[in-house]
Structure 1
């Protein structure tokens, strides 16, 4: 595996547990996916359906940080 192909993902079990905790605490989990040479970055929600009976949201083309902030802002609007 080339150095640029390496990534630092958490284990599947840890991700599931963290997701459950964040949904309970914040009402959602935001997952961010970094862009590649052939795919734009994107972020999506998990938990809006369970917490607020609202469809999940995805946004494309923003930095990971901005995509995360946008989804959190939209979740706050849904909550209110």
Structure 2
């Protein structure tokens, strides 16, 4: 994910947390850091990466993502069914 200014370990932790739990509980610190450092457009790229990599349904984690990135809501793709 060269287009996101996040350490690879942080990105991995975020995806693993969603993959294991369906939420960001295991990566709260990494998510908070991402929320501080990413633009709304970059947060959309993170969202897409999580969606495509975590193997979980979006409804499980989308609301929590929107809480962390409130400026991105209108930019996010519609959830896949």
Short-chain TM bin = 0.3 to 0.5
Q: What is the TM-score of this pair, normalised by structure 1?
A: 0.33
The structure with the greater share of residues assigned to helix is 2
> Which structure has the bigger radius of gyration?
1
Structure scoring higher RCO (CA < 8 A, sep ≥ 6) equals: 2
Q: What is the TM-score of this pair, normalised by structure 2?
A: 0.33
